[in-house]
Structure 1
């Protein structure tokens, strides 16, 4: 069995589409207005972004340890991705060795935690 798609609820659909295209290399396959976008990573994984109709009076956030993780092949890729984040205006601490990998954590899209890790040192 293989995980082949995920529906991720986001606060700003347009921002999320640009984020996944420009920083993570996803391709927009289909968009249904301001409600749903279907994206492809080029490796058989489909990401469905759904616009969340959040109540402005609610304190919305994903659970503390929820995150999206991406594995890359080299330490250089983690470092280059960190530079790309900074150039895009997304704050991030530098990557570091942790739990057997070279890892970068950052938050984006209204507080979603992301991880980029390389296990080949």
Structure 2
């Protein structure tokens, strides 16, 4: 079975969509309404659907929730870190070695925690 898509509720669909396109290379497929929903496609064919979270929905993602992206090498992780660390993000970790991976985390618009890593060995 192959993962087809992920559908995430976010407060600002336009800002979250712009982040995934500009910083993670997702391609815009479709916008519905006044940014009520945006559909993006990432490398490898993953479809990311972003839906506007209702104003009455105060729930946030659980602390451990995140989306992980694999890169081809440790150097690619360090290159991605250098590019993203230069962008206006307040929450970005340092690159570290953890459980056989070169990894860092950042917070995307909409409260989405992103892991970028390379699995060694």
TM-score, length of structure 2 as denominator length: 0.90
1:119 maps to 119
- For 1:104, what is the secondary structure of its paired residue? strand
Whether the aligned pair in 2 keeps the contact of 1:73 and 1:120 (CA below 8 Å) is no
Give the RMSD, CA atoms, in angstroms.
1.6
CA-to-partner distance for each residue in 1:5-25, whole Å, 9 max, x for gaps?
111111111101110001110
User: How many corresponding residue pairs?
Assistant: 119
Which structure 1 residue ranges, 5 or more long, are not aligned?
none
Task: Write the deviation string for residues 6-58 of structure 1: whole angstroms up to 9, x where unpaired.
Answer: 111111111011100011100000100221111111422111111112338x4
Corresponding residue SS for 2:44: coil
After TM superposition, list the pairs within 5 Å mapping 1:42-81 onto structure 2. Answer: 42-55=43-56, 58=58, 60-81=59-80
Partner of 1:40: 41
